[in-house]
Structure 1
Amino acid sequence: MVKYLAGLYNRDYFKLTKDEEVEKEVVTKRNSKKLGKLEVYNSSMNFEYPKAVRHYKSLFPNNYMDFLDLYEYEEMNTLNKLYLEEINKNTATELSIKSLIVENKLYHVIGSILKGGQFYFGHHNLYIFPEFQLGSLYRADYLLVGLASGGYQFVFVEMEHPNKNITLADGNYGEAFRKGINQINDWKVWLDSNFSSLTDVFKKSTNKSLPEEFYKYDSSRFHFAVVAGRRKNFSERTYWLKRNEEKKTGIRIFHYDNLYDYSMDLITQKEHGYLSY
């Protein structure tokens, strides 16, 4: 029996209950019709499936971000407030924020990076992999895998401290951002030579055939982000550095307040999924 990697949730979405299997067949039958030898399905059928079935049918069932969760406005708003309360603590660290995300399933906060970073993918399907290992040397805090019409693309995220060593008095990057950028540069070097080794990792998270993007390294599909500090740490100089960094290296720079703002945008613009154009 194939052993799949643990995912984001408290249940294994590779398996459906008998009731879920029955409902899956009912929805499929209701939304399909035969045209000659072809069977045509209603494009909205996926939204009618039970949540477990939507996960089950996805490429990575235990890492799937369900867009329909965003319609639970009150619940999502409460979760966003939990995140805001944590980052507002003087004692908050990147570890405490990551723990809060795992314990309360705040993965949409990480997913919101796609919206804020104007990444034009992830609105078809989005998957999140926490603590994603790059060989034996490196580990990304999060890997976001997003689908659009042009196929899958990847965003590696490094989270640094929200309060300490963010920027210098003149607005230049402090140790937190420098450390994050250096870490990403190490990942880029590693990926150039070792991407093929990740295919086996992805295979352990799916029971379906992987698309070509998971076998062949294409640097244009890979993106990187650093999250550190708060809005108050950013001066005009810092924003200039941020724009220059993104233009020169492609590394996106965020502070933790950005993620709160983007997460609130998600639940007020939910009809567009994780991105709105």
Structure 2
Amino acid sequence: MDYIVPDNFYKFKSDWYQNIDFDYESELLLDVLNQASKENDIQSYIKENEKWFIPASIFEDYDLGHHEACIIPEQRLGAEYRADYMLLGRNSIGHHIVLIEFENVNVDYKVRTSNMESESVRKGIVQIKDWKRWMDDNRKYFMESCGLTNISGNIPIWGIHYCLVVSRRDRMDNTANQMRGQTQYETPALHIVTYDRLVDNVKKLSNGF
């Protein structure tokens, strides 16, 4: 019997999004990004319009979600932390989780006067490292609190991923890209993308999650 996703998860089904014009939605998102002054501008746009497919488009960056694709906003990690979004996906290997942190939009990735991440980037990386430490110590509790106990054995330790969304492509240079690559190398479970990647991914959703 297939695992039944808890009610607090929004489950994507093909007949729910097949009539959405994702090219148009990507253009709308780009306009919002260009006008955004802070992270909450994007969060409000997503939540007030229930455009859950925007954060869920991050599935496109992972080899999962082919058999099942679900999202839950504001997933708590105990009493200490809260992820902006949690994705639950399933492929032929099993279930996977992606915990997502949104940071500021139109900010530089690195400080212009030195090879150091900007405040928003540093904040996001530290936040996710805190999540990972918490998850390593509280995995069983987390699965129980999410209602995922029945599939917890089907989620390997490497099946929990973390994604930071921050900055814009035109605010990154070669050094910034190298810094991002080094951070991801040092923290294998961490994936860092700009908000422009969301625009690209939304365009791809015509083929489904």
Instruction: Using structure 1 for the length normalisation, give the TM-score.
Output: 0.67
Give CA-to-partner distance per residue, 1:212-247, whole Å, 9 cap, x none.
447xx7421111111111111111011112222222
Task: Give CA deviations for 1:116-150 in whole Å, capped at 9, x if unaligned.
Answer: x2x11111111111111011110111111110111
Q: How much does 1:77 deviate?
A: 3.6
Displacement of 1:188 in angstroms is: 0.9
1:55-100 deviation per Cα after TM superposition (whole angstroms, max 9, x unaligned): xx952454102234442243x34433332221110x4311111111
Q: State the secondary structure of the residue aligned to 1:88.
A: helix
| Cα drift, residue 163 of structure 1 | 1.9
User: Which of the residues 65, 85, 92 maps onto 2:31?
Assistant: 85
Query: Structure 1 CA distance, aligned partners of 2:115 and 2:47?
Result: 32
Instruction: State the Cα deviation string for residues 177-219 of structure 1 (Å, max 9, x = none).
Output: 111110011111111111222233322xx8xx832447xx742
**Residues 1:222 and 2:160 aligned together:** yes
2:13 to 45, 55, 66: 66
Q: Structure 1 vs Structure 2: percent identity of aligned residues?
A: 28
User: Which of the pair has more CA radius of gyration?
Assistant: 1
Give the 3-state SS of the residue equivalent to 1:193 in structure 2: helix
AA matched with 2:81: Y
1:164 maps onto 2:107 in alignment = yes
1:150 maps to a residue whose letter is I
State the match for 1:151 in structure 2. 94
Of 102, 115, 118 in structure 2, the residue corresponding to residue 174 of structure 1 is 118
Match of 1:238 in 2: 176
Gaps of 5+ in 1: 1-56
Instruction: Give the match for residue 188 of structure 1.
Output: 132
Contact 2:25–2:202, Cα closer than 8 Å, also in 1 = no
Root-mean-square deviation over aligned CA pairs: 2.2
| Unaligned residue ranges in structure 2 (runs of 5+) | none
1:133 aligns with 2:79: no
Out of 197, 202, 205, the residue aligned to residue 263 of structure 1 is 202
**TM-score (ref. length: structure 2):** 0.88
* Higher RCO, Cα 8 Å, sep 6+: 2
Shift of 1:165: 5.3
Flag as ranges the 4+ runs of structure 1 deviating above 6 A: none
Question: What residue is the counterpart of 1:211 in the other structure?
Answer: 151
